[in-house]
Amino acid sequence: MAFDITPYIHMAPAQVRALIRAGKIDFPTAGMCQGYAQANLVILPPEHAAEFEEFTRLNPFPCPVLEIVRDRPLTHDMGEDADITTDLPRYRVYRDGVFTEERTDVSDLWQPGYVGFLLGCSFSFEEALLSAGIPVRHIEQGCNVPMFKTSIPTKQAGPFFGPMVCSMRPMTPEQAEQARRITAAMPNVHGAPVQIGDPAAIGVADVMKPDYGDPVEIRPGEVPVFWPCGVTPQAAVENAKLPLVITHAPGHMFIADVKNAELNDYLEARKAGR
């Protein structure tokens, strides 16, 4: 289903989060708040948080950690006092590994001790692609990015394992090589693509039938380009079969107060304790 992000392209993240919280935005966030980072989300019970954190450590490209939220569902590093249970357009609820419902507010499901993980999102590198004149087809078409379960395995941690999920953007081979160079320098938002062309090489049978998101047009002379995707944990959650896990709905991201251009340096400084 098509939607219009035009009114939200130049809005501040806090403004858009307020509109989301008020129920006025319930569609994908690609292209909103131009210049600012976006994030995937996983919320889970405390007894499994350490194992999931280890899963992210073992799989840093599909699961780059931007912030871990504990005790209350309020962020600090990615947006002061933003609420991860109300400030994303749509959420998915998994019970015993089964996706049971999609909703716009999960505040009633948050329990004391729950832990939220904000993970880097490929929407954050799209600004750099657009600035370089590289097309981003799902933004052009006003739809969600196509995402695919691949044959690339993740490294297991505790009950968490499964295939890497990849997002796909079609472009010419020349644009793809340029995009590879640009995104290789952005490891905290998935880094370089894992496959350029030949979807079958990573187990994708039909690029017009994504597992998540919407199909997009691939024009003559273009090839599909696949990046690690922050929906990867959702495949792992299905295998883990925990009583309750909450994630973002694919494409419906948390919009941070940190700018894309500053994100890598910000995270590296934080890791160094500066």
Domain 123-228 fold: PSTPO5379-like fold (3.30.2040)
Report whether 145 contacts 167 (CB < 8 A): yes
CATH code assigned to 8-122+236-271:
3.40.1640.10
Please give the Cα distance from 90 to 101 (Å, whole number): 10
Report whether 39 contacts 89 (CB < 8 A): no
Q: What is the pTM of this model?
A: 0.92
- For residue range 246-267, what is the model confidence (pLDDT) as tens digits? 999 999 999 999 998 888 888 8
- For residue range 14-45, what is the model confidence (pLDDT) as tens digits? 999 999 999 999 999 988 999 999 999 999 99
Per-residue confidence (pLDDT) for residue 266, from 0 to 100: 83
Share of the chain above pLDDT 90, in %: 84
Phi-psi region of 114 (alpha: psi -120 to 50; beta: other; left: phi over 0): beta
Per-residue confidence (pLDDT) for residue 274, from 0 to 100: 59
Please give the Cα distance from 20 to 105 (Å, whole number): 10
| CA dist 242 → 233, 254, 261 (Å) | 13, 23, 36
Mean pLDDT, the chain, rounded, equals 94
On the CB side of 244, CA atoms within 13 Å amount to 12
Nearest of 255, 211, 267 to residue 28 by alpha carbon: 255
Classify the C-alpha dihedral 93-98-99-100 as positive or negative. Answer: negative
Per-residue confidence (pLDDT) for residue 2, from 0 to 100: 65
Q: Is the pLDDT of residue 270 over 60?
A: yes
| CA dist 43 → 14, 71, 192, 222, 233 (Å) | 21, 12, 27, 37, 11
Per-residue confidence (pLDDT) for residue 1, from 0 to 100: 56
**Mean pLDDT, residues 70-97:** 95
**Mean pLDDT, residues 3-11:** 91
Share of the chain above pLDDT 70, in %: 99
Domains of the chain, by residue range, sit at 8-122+236-271, 123-228
